[in-house]
């Protein structure tokens, strides 16, 4: 997911398109990538390899998104 507290350019454009299509109640559309890793081990070490900490946030569940 994009960093908490930021709005990605993709989100801004997707939200504008939705509103121009008459979906006035849409507050924000965002996208993220879900990785499912099995095998145990340290999840924080795996997360560090799968994301850019300057622009992305790692969330532990879909509910957190």
| pLDDT above 70 coverage of the chain, percent | 98
Rg (CA), the chain: 15
Stretch 6-29: mean pLDDT, rounded?
94
The helix (run of H) or strand (run of E) holding residue 20 is: helix 9-20
Flag whether pLDDT at 14 surpasses 90.
yes
- Higher per-residue confidence, 25 vs 48: 25
């Amino acid at each position: 997911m994009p960093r908490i507290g930021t709005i990605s350019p993709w989100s801004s454009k997707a939200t504008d398109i939705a509103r121009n299509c008459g979906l006035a109640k849409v507050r924000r559309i965002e996208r993220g990538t879900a990785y499912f890793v099995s095998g145990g081990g340290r999840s924080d070490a795996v997360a560090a390899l799968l994301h850019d900490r300057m622009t992305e946030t790692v969330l532990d569940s879909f509910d957190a998104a």
